[in-house]
């Protein structure tokens, strides 16, 4: 059984650029959620995808967007990067829309300069 | 508005001691309360979780105590070990058929240090 994997592990971007982060869900899991974790803070929910459709969104602007693919892997896209977007981006997968435990990947550390 | 308040921010415990971390929530619709452990450079890992129909759940050295009327829950780590040194997050979510299921709302975290 493979766990949740994210790529890349680290990334440095310039303000105003666009970035795409990727996540492969745990085997058998069809729900993927994305979280932003600022330094010294708890993760904050960005959005969730279930069977390729967005299934809930947190308090993040539209420049944060995502996709889920038929194999349940997912992408997080952030446009017009701002300095405050610097954070650890976490992907979590779970089983089913009413699934139980969410299992997290190791995250992508994004630095915006 | 912070929906899940966690305390203390940091905690130092001697090896073999009991570590206690507390959380309070505001939204009475929350019905799933997990605790996550996070080591530096890693993603959070699920430690133990509880639903409001029980007041306590124990798994090995880890126990969740849940007080529905007070809207509080806590994590107890018995016989704390140096390897338990990590950041601990409480979280809460709503199993809402119309919304985002298991959208987790996290506390701000507690940095636990267990001295040898």
Q: What is the DSSP string of A29-94?
A: --EEEEEEE-TTS--EEEEEEETTEEEEE-S--TTEEEEE-TTS-EEEEE-S--GGG-EEEEEEEE
Say yes or no: A41 contacts chain B, CB-CB below 8 A. yes
Tokens of A5: 């994997």
Question: What pLDDT is stored for residue B100 in this prediction?
Answer: 43
| Cβ contacts of B104 on chain A, cutoff 8 Å | 33, 35, 43, 45, 92, 102
Question: What pLDDT is stored for residue A21 in this prediction?
Answer: 98
Stretches where chain A sits below pLDDT 50 are: 1
Say yes or no: A4 contacts chain B, CB-CB below 8 A. yes
Residue B103 binned pLDDT confidence (cut-offs 50, 70, 90) = confident
Residue B98 has pLDDT above 70, yes or no: no
Closest CA to A23 of A75, A96, A97, A86: A75
Whether residue A55 and residue B45 make contact (CB cut-off 8 A), yes or no, is: no
3-state secondary structure of A96: coil
Query: Residues 6 or more apart from A101 whose CB is under 8 A from it?
Result: A94, B34, B46, B49
Tokens of A38: 């600022």
Residue B22 has pLDDT above 60, yes or no: yes
Please state, rounded to an integer, the average pLDDT across all residues of chain A: 91
| Sheet with strand B4-7: strands edge to edge | B4-7, B19-25, B72-77, B62-67, B56-59
For the ranges A43-52, A64-73, B2-11, B92-101, the lowest mean pLDDT is seen at: B92-101
Question: What pLDDT is stored for residue B76 in this prediction?
Answer: 98
Cis peptide before A8 (omega within 30 of 0): yes
Query: Region B26-32: what's the mean pLDDT?
Result: 89
Residues 6-25 of A with CB under 8 A from B: none
| Cβ contacts of B41 on chain A, cutoff 8 Å | 106
Residues 68-107 of A with CB under 8 A from B: 90, 92, 94, 97-107
Say yes or no: A48 contacts chain B, CB-CB below 8 A. yes
Closest Cβ–Cβ partner in B6, B102, B105 for A94? B102
Whether residue A45 and residue B89 make contact (CB cut-off 8 A), yes or no, is: no
Question: What pLDDT is stored for residue A98 in this prediction?
Answer: 59
For A51-88, b/e burial (b = at least 16 CB within 10 A) is eeeebbbbebeeebbbebeeebbbbbebeebeeebbbb
Closest chain B C-alpha to A66 CA, distance in angstroms? 15
Tokens of B65: 């105590």
Residues B46-83: pLDDT tens digits?
Answer: 999 998 889 999 999 999 999 999 999 999 999 999 99
- The DSSP letter of residue B93 is B
Q: How far apart are CA B33 and CA B66, in angstroms?
A: 9
Q: How far apart are CA A39 and CA B83, in angstroms?
A: 22
Closest chain A C-alpha to B6 CA, distance in angstroms? 10
Residue B99 binned pLDDT confidence (cut-offs 50, 70, 90) = very low
CB–CB of A56/B101 below 8 Å? yes
Question: What pLDDT is stored for residue B77 in this prediction?
Answer: 98
- Where are the alpha helices (H) located in B25-115, listed in sequence order? none
Residues of chain B whose beta carbon is less than 8 angstroms from a beta carbon of chain A are: 4, 6, 34, 36, 41-46, 49, 89, 91, 95, 97, 99-109
């Amino acid at each position: 059984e493979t766990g949740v994997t994210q790529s890349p592990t680290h990334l440095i971007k310039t303000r105003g650029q666009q970035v795409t982060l990727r996540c492969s869900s745990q085997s058998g899991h069809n729900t993927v959620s994305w979280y932003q974790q600022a330094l010294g803070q708890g993760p904050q929910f960005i959005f969730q995808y279930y069977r390729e459709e967005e299934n809930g969104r947190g308090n993040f602007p539209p420049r944060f967007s995502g996709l889920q693919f038929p194999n349940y892997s997912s992408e997080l896209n952030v446009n017009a990067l701002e300095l405050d977007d610097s954070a650890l981006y976490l992907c979590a997968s779970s089983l089913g829309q009413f699934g139980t435990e969410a299992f997290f990947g190791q995250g992508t550390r994004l630095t915006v300069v | 508005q912070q929906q899940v308040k966690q305390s203390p921010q940091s905690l130092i415990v001697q090896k073999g001691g009991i570590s206690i971390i507390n959380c309070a929530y505001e939204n009475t619709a929350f019905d799933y309360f997990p605790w996550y452990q996070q080591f530096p450079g890693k993603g959070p890992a699920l430690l133990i979780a509880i639903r409001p129909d029980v007041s306590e759940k124990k798994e090995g050295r880890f126990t969740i105590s849940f007080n529905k009327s007070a809207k509080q829950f806590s994590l107890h780590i018995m016989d704390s070990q140096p390897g338990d040194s990590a950041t601990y997050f409480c979280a809460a979510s709503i199993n809402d058929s119309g919304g985002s299921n298991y959208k987790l709302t996290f506390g701000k975290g507690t940095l636990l240090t267990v001295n040898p």
